[in-house]
Structure 1
């Protein structure tokens, strides 16, 4: 299925709402938005996730990003937290319940939370409508990912069409990481904010599914064994091995 993207709305101001979890991908996307948009707000979601520690790191990351440059500080606006705890009541998964991470009979990992990203984007669209923001930026990716169907480009494009029809808007859903692997995501972070941003992502962001935030590796905090940690670690090692000397 190939659903065409709607063109970005033509407005006087370029503004965006970034789905910002406090993880590697969303932090990179936030840096990307701060580079390309005049006004940027952020939204995080509390949905009963095992790795709720990611929410605790969000304010620190936002404050440190403000210190990168006066331009980023000026562009970074309000932060929002939305309670979507009903997600954990609707679906029992390894992302929301203490259980062993494994592959299910349908081939998907049991960390898959059905409809989670669709709900995130829908809630973000409602917030963007109220805040008069015309672009949503999310870290969805179908290159290096765990096979989640709602991370796919077709799913995001289809939802963009549905949201714009249902809300009578011209909202653009952008996914800067959609066709990047984790090595390329690390490289993108460096291109946006240099070694300073790489160090911030390593020391402050959280990706580990089980919420392990006590062990700091050269690629960041995590258990080092869950799918999210393995992807992040592998991408970092590949990025480091191919990094060109300054």
Structure 2
């Protein structure tokens, strides 16, 4: 069976991306990153629950401690407050420097080890938080570098099935594919009940509202 490495944070986008990979006939190799984010334990729990739902046999939980050393993001530096005022001008403080580039690099090494031919990542460009590492241009250039820097027989395609979808479309598609959205976690701030006011919660809640579907996770 053909194989795909799926970067799976435990969030709604990466979970749907992984389900799309499975429905496309791939054997999934799930990769999760613990990088010192505020909701690290909750995201890991979500990853494990979703991996179980997907019947994933091969999975990796990768620790990347240096993100907390460099700080520079509200997700990894607790001296920076999580913004709750809505859309920010420019790149928001929740952006983690070159996070997706680093994730993709590690996932490429795993894909080459397993002879995978695809790498799924749930980046969303049109309805995202304004992160520079979620764009088509970035993904295209990373794909070129990854294939240039691996063995000749390694032919790896980065697949971004959600990149031009809105959150409402993502919710609708997830329901269509029977994705257990109640196991996913989006909140930037909390690990027990979602705050409902951070940028990620706002995007998620608006997506459910526009899709006309109730969100089954708990909010404060």
TM over 0.5: yes
Which aligned segments of 4 or more residues in structure 1 are displaced greater than 6 angstroms?
none
Higher Cα Rg, which structure: 1
Higher helix share: 1
After superposition, residues 83-94 of structure 1 pair within 5 angstroms as 83-94=63-74
Shift of 1:106: 7.2
SS of match in other structure, 1:180: coil
Query: Does the Cα contact within 8 Å between 1:140 and 1:151 map onto a contact in 2?
Result: yes
1:55 equivalent in alignment to 2:44? yes
- Alpha-carbon RMSD across the aligned residues, in angstroms, is 1.9
Helix, strand or coil: the match of 2:128? coil
Unmatched runs of 5 consecutive residues or more in structure 2: 214-220
State yes or no: 1:118 paired with 2:97. no
* Alignment partners' CA distance in 1, 2:29 and 2:206: 31
Instruction: Map 1:1-246; keep pairs closer than 5 Å.
Output: 13-52=1-40, 53-66=42-55, 76-98=56-78, 99-102=80-83, 107-168=90-151, 169-193=154-178, 197=179, 200-201=180-181, 203-210=182-189, 212-215=190-193, 222-240=194-212
Q: Give the conservation status (yes or no) of the 8 Å contact 2:29–2:59.
A: yes
Q: Partners of 1:238 and 1:114 in 2: how far apart?
A: 31
Distance 2:93 2:82 in 1: 6
> Unpaired segments of 5 or more residues in structure 1?
1-12, 67-75, 216-221, 242-246
* TM-score normalised by structure 2 residue count: 0.88
Q: What's the CA shift for 1:179? A: 0.4
Q: How many matched pairs?
A: 207
Deviation at 1:113, TM superposition (A): 0.8
